[in-house]
Amino acid sequence: MSHPLIYTDETVEALREQVRRFVETEVVPNGDVWEKGGMVPREVLGKMGELGFLGIRYQEKYGGAGLDTVATVAFVEELSRSTYAGFNITVLVHTDMASPHLARFGTSEQLDRYMPDIVAGRKITGVGVTEPGGGSDVQALRTRAEKRGNGWVLNGSKMFITNGVHGDLFFVAARTDPDAKGSRGISMFIVEKDTPGFRVGRKLDKMGWRSSDTAELVFEDCELPGDALLGTENRGFYAIMENFQNERIVLGAMCVGEAQKAIDLTLDYVKERPAFGARLWDKQAIRQRLAMLQAEVAAARQLVYHAAWLDAQGQDATREVSMVKALCGELVNRVMYSCQQFHGGYGYMREFPIERMVRDARIQAIGGGATEVMLEEVAKRM
């Protein structure tokens, strides 16, 4: 499918081709093994770091490429054609959902200490915001951080944390002012894997995204140094909301890449599969349904790139980003449902990628901002 020329340039398209080659040679042949193992090997992420994939928008002095949001979208779109969404999200939480907290709000000392290893893939990151019983309601956060001497003591737990089992560095939200209401009084902290009082409560068993390790994290009198505070004290909620914009653009691009790959696979199948004396492709109803889905994916793709372009220009794209998350999260599920249907019984067999892709897509209407929450954000701006 042709790329949106109005938004990309030769540098972005070169990146796209490089990512596509990596997916074809390194991911597709090994994805089944990663699914069974429940994680992406760290040497694979290290190889991505060597290729410059883990620091697309980060400063060159840390090993990054210094590109913009549009480049990220192209990267995500190609990554998501792998058919292994657990691999995709392992990478994207590190590059676009966790480490941006440090990149945006870290002190020069914090950046110098951690960013080179993050960009190189030597330290893999996760972000701890969601809590048991909390879901999308960040204001209901219950994890507490109390000042003690020159440092902090962290108590609480986090749920559904991608890279939680095997990650090295976490950016954790905690309430630092117990008397503040709602969104006030929340701060972000840097927590290293081996910090005393920090442990993985349990590894979670998911419906999809099987090659991504997901955990509940527990903090029990977890002692942090004073310089573990990330950003301004009691302003963490606003940092979380700011990063959600990036996360939702990325998830939208992920949906588009997955949906397009599903259509491509289904086209190959229906053009070969005979039924009732002709190919499935010769049935008008199937052709037209796939054609409409392709039109919807193409339209969603343009919205994703437009939102990314607005973000790259420094404009407030909250409405467009919320539209992206709501639209793409629902669309990818409709695409997967139809594509699996057109595969017939084979679509229910695990030897066919579409079976895995259906399971993996379901979370897209939930994670990173449920569709209903996103629609309310759009409605506020109508």
Would the pLDDT of 142 be above 70?
yes
- Same domain as 60, residue 90: yes
pLDDT band at 135 (very low <50, low <70, confident <90, very high): low
Long-range residue pairs from 271-275, CB within 8 A, at least 24 positions apart, any chain: 273/344
State the total domains in the chain: 3
| pLDDT > 70? residue 3 | no
133: left (phi over 0), alpha (psi -120 to 50) or beta: left
Same domain, 360 and 244: yes
d(C-alpha 228, C-alpha 127), whole Å = 14
Residue 94 is which amino acid? H
Q: Residue 230 is part of a domain; what is its CATH number?
A: 2.40.110.10
Tracing tokens 């992920």 back to the chain, one arrives at 254
DSSP-assigned letters across all residues of 68-132: -HHHHHHHHHHHGGGS-HHHHHHHHIIIIIIHHHHHHH--HHHHHHHHHHHHHTSS-EEEE---T
Residue 35 annotated among the catalytic residues of the structure? no
Taking the mean position of all CA atoms in its chain, how far away is CA 73? 11
- pLDDT digit string, tens, across residues 278-323: 888 899 999 999 999 999 999 999 999 999 999 999 999 999 999 9
Token pair for 344:
């017939």
Q: Establish if 143 belongs to a structural domain.
A: yes
Residue range(s) defining the domain that contains residue 180: 126-235
Q: From 235, 270, 291, give the residue that closes a domain.
A: 235
State whether 262 and 356 are in the same domain: yes
More confident position, 163 or 180: 163
Phi and psi at 159, nearest 5°, equal -125, 150
Which of 112-141 are b and which e, b meaning 16 or more Cβ less than 10 Å from the residue's Cβ? eebbbbbbbbebbbbbbbbbeebebebeeb
Of 124, 147, 164, which residue constitutes the final position of a domain?
124
In a domain, residue 2? The reply is no
Q: Please say which residue of 216, 235, 254 terminates a domain.
A: 235
Please indicate, yes or no, if residue 81 is contained in any of the structural domains: yes
Asked if pLDDT for residue 182 goes beyond 80, the answer is no
Same domain, 225 and 302: no
Out of 78, 216, 247, 377, which one is annotated catalytic?
Answer: 247
- The DSSP call for residue 216 is E
Query: Is pLDDT above 80 for 269?
Result: yes
Specify whether 231 is located in the same domain as 245. Answer: no
- The Cβ-side half-sphere exposure at 290, using a 13 Å CA radius, reads 25
Specify the pLDDT at position 169.
97
316 and 327 share one domain? yes
Structure tokens belonging to residue 39: 């994680």
Q: Average pLDDT in the 161-165 region?
A: 95
Q: Return the minimum-mean-pLDDT range out of 131-135, 163-167, 183-187.
A: 131-135
Amino acid found at 341 = Q
Burial group, residue 178, by CB count within 10 angstroms (0-12, 13-18, 19+): exposed
Average model confidence (pLDDT) for the chain? 94
Residue 320 lies in a domain: yes
* Average pLDDT over every residue of 269-282: 88
Contact 40, 211 (CB under 8 A): yes
